[in-house]
Structures are given as C-alpha cells and as structure tokens.
Structure 1
Amino acid sequence: MGLKVHWYGALFATAIACGFQVMKRIYIKEKLPVESLDNLLMYCVIGIIVGARLAHCIFYDPAYYFSNPLKIFAIWEGGLASHGGGLGAILALYYYRRKMDMPFLFLLDRLAIATAIFGFFVRMANFMNSEILGLPSNVPWAIIFERIDMLPRHPAQLYEAFAYLAIFIGLWAIYKYTEMKQKEGAIFGLFLVLVFSARFAIEFVKVKQAAYAEGMTWSAGQWLSVPFLIVGVVLLVMPYLNKKVKA
C-alpha cells in the first residue's frame, strides 16, 4: 500500500519545527534557558490553534457557528484565522513570561522572527490544500486549483508565503547585525507593520472569506489587520521617541 502524504499536516509540523529551531538558536546565542522552550512550544501551539479557531468562527462565519456551537470544536473540517492565531500566540507568550520572569516585549521581539518563518510554511500548506484562494486572473503565473474549479487564479497563498519568508530574512538580519534588538518592542512592531501591510495588500486579490463582507470595499481580513498595524507602528516608534525624550 502506498504512503499517503497529508501535505497540510506535514507543512504545519515543519512550521512548528522551524519556528522552534529559530527560537533555540536565539536562546543559545543569548544564554537563555533552552530547556524552557518545550513549555513555550506547548503554550504557543495551544494558543495558536484555539485563537485561530475562535477567530474564524467569530469573524468569518458567525451565523453558522452560533447556530451550530458544537461545530466550533470540529477543527478537522477546516477554518483557522491567522489574526486569531497571532493573538493566541501573544497570550500564550504572556503566560510563559509570567512563569519565566522575563521581559514581555523582549520575548515578543524574538518570537516575531520565529513567527515569520512559521507563517511561510503555513501559507505553503494552504497552497497545497487549495485554501485561501485568489481571485480569477489571466496573469501569466495564474494557477488552476482543480479541487475547486478550472479557473486560473492569483496564487494568493504564495504571495503571502514569500512575503513572510522575506520578512523572516529581514528580521533575522536586523536581529543579528543591528542594535534594534536593544530597543524592546521595536522588532515586534516592525514585524506587525510588515506582516499586516503585506496581508492588507494581498487581500485585494483574494476571494473574500466572510460572506457578510461581499458588499464591502475591504475584506474581513483587512479590517482585522488594521488594529495590528496601529499597534505595530506604536511599538516601532516608541523606543526612539523615548530616547529623544530622555536626551
């Protein structure tokens, strides 16, 4: 009997493993307790899954899930929202930080780097699973997702995946070669600005996932990106403003 590869599960596991390895390298470099990363991994995985599922149910299809509340637990049927996953990871990190007695923004700066590479593999998983489709298009690189229909479409998942990969490379270089890591919150702020700017722009070529957003100029994903963008700008500029005030 042949081996059946479930690409979504394999790539999601790869996302977790790569994110873990990035954090491990950072912990070793900064002489932090590597053994505590097992707890961080467990908290973050739980936070991401619970947050992503609840956000999908509440923001993308509330009528269905409020009418069928037991379906909220049917994660195997699909439906995870990255905005909720991000918030779940932040809450998980806060819980971890309280146990480890480490600065919250310090940890967020470092987790942001790992989250960027995590996002790359998750979007590749969405691509393999024919999820989060782009709008029909006749651009030369359009792709037909035969599981859905025979229309050539924008490969929106790949747009996001490679945007996140570029953000990971940029953040890693900033962490390794600049002094920005000394300004707590700045790297995380830059991460939020870059990720949600990319997400906002790419949403214009995506099929709207929330039925109630069909008549709206912006999609649900764009509206949900705005608060993250605002927080990102504040976190990015605050350390530099504080320095000027002290000077």
Structure 2
Amino acid sequence: MNTSDYLVWELDPVIFTIPEFGLPFPVSIWGLILGFILIYFGFQKISPASEKEEPESWKVWAVILGSLIVAQIPFLLIDSPTLNSIGPIQPRWYGLMWVCAFASGYMIGVKMYKDAGKSIEDLDRLLMYVLVGTVIGARLGHVFFYEAEFYLRNPILIPQVWTGGLASHGAAIGIIVAMYLYAKKTSWASFFWVADRVVPGVAIGGMFIRIGNFFNSEIVGIPTDVPWAIIFTRIDMLPRHPSMLYEAILCLIVLVVLWTIYKKYDQKPPEGSLFATFLILLFGGRFFLEFAKQTLADFLEGSLLDMGQLLSIPLVLIGIWILWKKVNWKR
C-alpha cells in the first residue's frame, strides 16, 4: 500500500492561541456564576413593559457591572476556587462546529415556529431544554454505553464533559426526554408536534458536529485502500475510511428528505412523520456506516455488531412503529 496516494490530514484542532495573562486581583469562580444569575434577574427588573422598547444603556451596564462586583463580595470571606489568570485561550474547530450546529438548528426552528404561528419565546424555551438534554444525554451515553466500568470506578470524572467523551445515541435519548418534558409543560403542543420541529435542526447539527470530529481526527474508520481514504496523522499512518464525513453526508441527506416532506405538506406534516422518518433514515444509515468505523467499545471487540449498531436497532424499530401505528397520513 503506497501511502503517498492518499490525502494526509494533519490539521491542528486549535484555531489560534491567545497567551495567558494575569488578572489584577483573584476572581472567585463561584462569584462569577452568582454574578451571571444576578444579571439575569437584574435584566428582568429593568425590562420595559413594551417589547418594542429597549432598556436604557446605562441601566444595562449598571446591572452587568454591579452584579459582577456584588457577587464577588461574599466570596472574599468564603474560601472558594479563584482565577488568578486567564489563558492560554485556544478556540478549537470542534467548538466552532458545535456553535454552528446550534445556530443552524435554531434558524431552522425559527422558520418552522413562524410557519406554525408560534412565538420565538416558546422556541427559546425549547432550545434550552434541547441544549441541556443534548449535553447530559451525550455524556451519560458515552459513560454507560462505552466506558461504564471506568467511570463507575471514577464517578467524579462523569461531569467533566470538557475531557472528551460524547455519544450521539445518548444525545438522541437526551433530546427525546427533553422534547417530552417541554411538550408536557406546553399546553398547545404534543410530543410528536415538537419532535417534528426539532429533528431537522438535529440533522443539520449532526452534520456540523461530525465535521468537527473530522477536524479533531476522531471517530475514525477502519484501515482501507479505497481511493478516498485519508491518513489521520494524529492516529497513525494508515489510510482509513473518513467515517465521520460519511455520517456528515448522511445527516445532510436526512435533512433534505425531512424538508421535502415538510414542504410537500405545506408546512403542516402529519404529526410524527418527520420524527419517525428521522429515526429510520439516520439510525438505519448509522447501522451500515458502523461497519466502516473503528469500534469505540473495547469490550465488543470481535463481536458481530458493535455498540453503535446495537443502539441503532431499537431506534429504527421505534421509527417504523410510529409510521405504522401513530402517523395519520390522510390528515
């Protein structure tokens, strides 16, 4: 195998670096958290009665600066973790892709909520549910599906999302739970109505996140000699399937199909149709793409199916059941 015939990927996952700089005085981390909470409630107090008006700029700055200063005072007397310096700051491509994922998903949500005559405030509330559900679900999915033995021995590491380890199947479960809780708290919305307007954003978000995995040289495929194989130098010098790009393309295809159904029914698709189609296409495609991926669950090494495939099967079956039993196509 001649490695010179393949694309070599060695991009630094860090976009740029801002050097470390010292603060003139230590800043309490818990004080910063309290400060942001005070800012939120402060803005509620100074918000004008009319939505067309904006609060005076001096009041905005008074709330921001006053909250941050006042929040630090209690922690001058209480021992708490502090920041003495900031940096080095290293924005990463993966983080940028996460921002693109939520921004693009939010834009699709705005379009669909406006089409349905619903308020953007309701969409903002849904975004918070989905954001929390995605992060918690993805983290717990990785912990329990792939490295349960390690994290049960080291439970203090479970909340440390920044150390890496997020599972897309766990994110899917977290989003489903978040949609259920949102629908339960929203009198006019059913679960399937909400789900139909979340999954297009999840599809485009998944595309951006898999591109982020490509920048990070993670979730790589098995060695291969296909012409489009890529050598990920951060892993080894073997040409491999760019499996994360396969999944990015799959997400884009799913988005196109969902949007086609949405437009075909004049922005009023039968409830549950988009959600079920999403489950079948995305996780059905994932089942087959897993054959090109390097397994992430070491305890399944050598098994006929890997963890991603085992988790995809029930989601596909749920999608088929919804299309068969729950979707009223005539309506």
The whole-number CA distance in structure 1 between the counterparts of 2:144 and 2:266 is 40
Q: Give the aligned length.
A: 244
- Equivalent position SS for 1:35: helix
Amino acid of the structure 1 residue aligned with 2:145 = F
1:96-245 matched pairs, under 5 angstroms: 96-101=182-187, 102-178=189-265, 181-239=268-326
Which position in structure 1 is the counterpart of 2:98? Answer: 12
Amino acid of the structure 2 residue aligned with 1:172 = W
1:183 is displaced (CA, Å) by 2.1
Amino acid of the structure 2 residue aligned with 1:140 = P
The whole-number CA distance in structure 1 between the counterparts of 2:245 and 2:220 is 10
The whole-number CA distance in structure 1 between the counterparts of 2:165 and 2:319 is 26
* Structure 2: gaps spanning 5 or more residues: 1-15, 19-89
**Aligned-residue CA RMSD (Å):** 1.9
8 Å CA contact 1:109, 1:181 repeated in 2? no
8 Å CA contact 2:261, 2:269 repeated in 1? no
Which position in structure 2 is the counterpart of 1:24? Answer: 110
The whole-number CA distance in structure 1 between the counterparts of 2:216 and 2:286 is 19
**Which deviates the most, 176-185 or 155-164?**
176-185
Amino acid of the structure 2 residue aligned with 1:142 = A
The whole-number CA distance in structure 1 between the counterparts of 2:137 and 2:102 is 16
Distance 1:178 1:243, change over 3 A: closer
- Equivalent position SS for 2:302: coil
Calculate the TM-score normalised by the size of structure 1: 0.93
Percent sequence identity over matched residues? 44
- The answer as to 2:132 corresponding to 1:46 is yes
- Equivalent position SS for 1:144: strand
8 Å CA contact 1:43, 1:93 repeated in 2? yes
1:19 is displaced (CA, Å) by 0.4
Calculate the TM-score normalised by the size of structure 2: 0.70
1:178 is displaced (CA, Å) by 3.1
- The answer as to 2:142 corresponding to 1:56 is yes
The whole-number CA distance in structure 2 between the counterparts of 1:151 and 1:15 is 30
The whole-number CA distance in structure 1 between the counterparts of 2:137 and 2:17 is 35
- Equivalent position SS for 1:73: coil
**Which deviates the most, 33-42 or 162-171?**
33-42
Amino acid of the structure 2 residue aligned with 1:238 = K
Distance 1:112 1:2, change over 3 A: closer
**Which deviates the most, 93-102 or 214-223?**
93-102
More strand by share: 2
* Structure 1: gaps spanning 5 or more residues: none
